[in-house]
């Protein structure tokens, strides 16, 4: 690990950003050029002390997970991300396979969306990033590991995945999942992993096999759906999507129609976040 070059690179990239670039509020009397160390640490999910020691050339070698988190926090381009990996002593991640590195363009957009649930997903429906309102509506989908990171896999293998959707929509939703997996299998960003997911589902889920045999194929996101929130109940949302150039990652933005009960519930959710409601609170 090149501690001196790493420290200089991190400091320079930190100083090139301002709070509004990463969705933070820029308060009065700000003297620091760019982001503060504690702000980068917060964005990367690490301690301020550890990040400070990286810039002071005193920290042990970061893990691949921390390196990935730093690249995301500093909104690095792919070239800059690769440089960061080399400075720390890792091989650069493959660019055209599934990557934990969220597109900087999608991250900038996600940072600015504070009134609508929004999340960044891969073409295998691995959720890479969510804004707070999306977490409040859908739960933290970034916590999953292994094959369960894929929403395709969870839909057929984890009964809890379906609790967020009305039972009458399960058939349509399942068929859409199978159809999108078929598209990812032939022209996705990680066809090897898509084939692994397919093999597991064919072996373990008769329901998936039935839907797979329909030979349906689609890339479209299910753009209109009903979410069942555990306390607010039904919330009807419309999905708008923005793809990266190679369609490997997608920014999904969920909106509600103004004047509807769903819109009022989403506004309430933006205020209460993860707080539990008391009886009679739901509009």
Q: Which residues pair with 228 in a beta bridge?
A: 234
Q: Which of 43, 59, 88 is the last residue of a domain?
A: 88
Strand-by-strand arrangement of the 127-130 sheet: 127-130, 118-122, 249-255, 233-243, 224-229
Say whether pLDDT at 245 is over 90: no
142: exposed, middle or buried (Cβ count in 10 Å: 0-12, 13-18, 19+): middle
Q: For 108-153, what is each residue's pLDDT tens digit?
A: 888 888 889 999 999 899 999 999 999 999 999 999 989 999 999 9
Q: Are residues 120 and 188 in the same domain?
A: yes
User: Would 214 be classed as within a structural domain?
Assistant: yes
Range of the domain at 58: 3-88
Query: 66 with 184, same domain?
Result: no
In percent, how much of the chain has pLDDT > 90? 46
Kindly report the CA angle at 173 between 167 and 176, in degrees rounded to 5? Answer: 165
| Token pair for 34 | 């760019």
Is the model's pLDDT at 98 over the cut of 70? no
Residue 23 lies in a domain: yes
At 282, the pLDDT band (50, 70, 90 cuts) reads very low
Q: Which of 1, 22, 16 is nearest to 72 (CA)?
A: 22
Identify whether residues 59 and 144 lie together within a single domain: no
Domain boundary among 63, 88, 113: 88
Task: State residue 95's pLDDT score.
Answer: 55
Q: What is the CATH number of the domain that holds 162?
A: 3.30.450.180
Q: How much of the chain exceeds pLDDT 70, in percent? A: 89
Higher pLDDT, 155 or 242: 155
220 and 127 together in one domain: yes
Is 176 contained in some domain?
Answer: yes
Q: Same domain for 135 and 181?
A: yes
Distance CA 1, CA 57 (A): 10
Kindly state whether residues 70 and 165 are assigned to the same domain.
Answer: no
Instruction: Indicate whether 77 and 115 sit together in one domain.
Output: no
**224 and 171 housed in the same domain:** yes
* Distance (Å, whole) CA 43 – CA 187: 32
- Over residues 211-237, mean pLDDT: 85
Q: What is the pLDDT of residue 164?
A: 92
For tokens 């920014």, name the residue: 251
* Domain annotation covers residue 126: yes
Does 19 reside within a domain?
A: yes
- Model confidence at 223, in pLDDT bands (50, 70, 90)? low
pLDDT band at 30 (very low <50, low <70, confident <90, very high): low
The SS3 assignment for 227 reads strand
- Same structural domain, 120 and 37: no
Q: Output the domain CATH number for residue 71.
A: 1.10.260.40
Average pLDDT over residues 275-282: 50
204 and 149 in a common domain: yes
**Phi and psi torsions of 103, nearest 5°:** -50, 125
In this prediction, residue 20 has a pLDDT band, given cuts at 50, 70 and 90, of: confident
pTM: 0.66
pLDDT reading at 283 higher than 50: no
Same domain for 113 and 41: no
Whether residue 216 is contained in a domain is answered as: yes
Mean pLDDT score, 159-182: 92
Tokens (6 digits) for 76 = 């690095």
Q: Rounded mean pLDDT of 177-198?
A: 88
96 belongs to a structural domain = no
Last residue of a domain, one of 57, 88, 119: 88
- Return the pLDDT at 279: 45
Output the DSSP codes for 25-68. Answer: ---SS--SSS--HHHHHHHHTS-HHHHHHHHTT-SPPPPHHHHH
- pLDDT, tens digit (0-9, with 9 covering 90-100), for 31-78: 667 888 998 998 888 999 999 999 999 989 999 889 988 998 888 877
The reply to whether 159 falls in a domain is yes
Return the CA Rg of the chain: 21
Q: Tens digits of per-residue pLDDT, 85-95?
A: 889 988 877 65
Mean of pLDDT over the chain:
86
One domain for residues 72 and 128: no
> Please, are residues 83 and 9 in contact by the beta-carbon 8 Å criterion?
yes
Q: What is the pLDDT of residues 152-162, one digit of tens each?
A: 999 999 999 99
Domain count, the chain: 2
Are 99 and 248 contacting, i.e. CB atoms less than 8 angstroms apart? yes
């Amino acid at each position: 690990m090149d501690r001196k070059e790493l420290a200089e690179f991190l400091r320079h990239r930190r100083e090139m950003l301002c709070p509004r670039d990463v969705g933070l509020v820029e308060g009065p009397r700000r003297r620091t050029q760019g982001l503060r160390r504690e702000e980068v640490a917060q964005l990367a999910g690490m301690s301020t002390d550890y990040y400070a020691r990286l810039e002071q050339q005193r920290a042990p070698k970061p893990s691949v997970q921390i390196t990935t988190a730093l690249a995301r926090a500093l909104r690095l381009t792919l070239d800059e991300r690769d440089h960061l990996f080399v400075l720390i002593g890792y091989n650069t991640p493959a660019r055209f396979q599934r990557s934990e590195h969220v597109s900087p363009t999608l991250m900038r957009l996600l940072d600015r969306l504070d009134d609508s649930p929004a999340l960044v997903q891969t073409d295998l429906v691995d959720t890479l990033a969510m804004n707070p309102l999306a977490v409040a509506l859908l739960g933290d989908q970034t916590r999953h590991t292994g094959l369960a990171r894929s929403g395709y896999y969870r839909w057929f293998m984890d009964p809890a995945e379906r609790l967020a959707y009305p039972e009458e929509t399960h058939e349509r939703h399942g068929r859409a999942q199978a159809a999108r997996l078929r598209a990812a299998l032939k022209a996705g960003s990680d066809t090897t992993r898509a084939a692994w997911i397919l093999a597991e589902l064919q072996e373990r889920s008769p329901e998936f096999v039935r839907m797979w045999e329909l030979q349906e194929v689609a890339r479209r996101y299910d753009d209109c759906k009903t979410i069942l929130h555990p306390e607010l109940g039904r919330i009807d949302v419309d999905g708008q999507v923005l793809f990266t150039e190679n369609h490997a990652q997608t920014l999904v933005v969920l909106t509600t129609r103004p004047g509807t009960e769903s819109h009022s519930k989403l506004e309430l959710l933006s205020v209460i976040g993860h707080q539990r409601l008391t009886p009679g609170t739901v509009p």
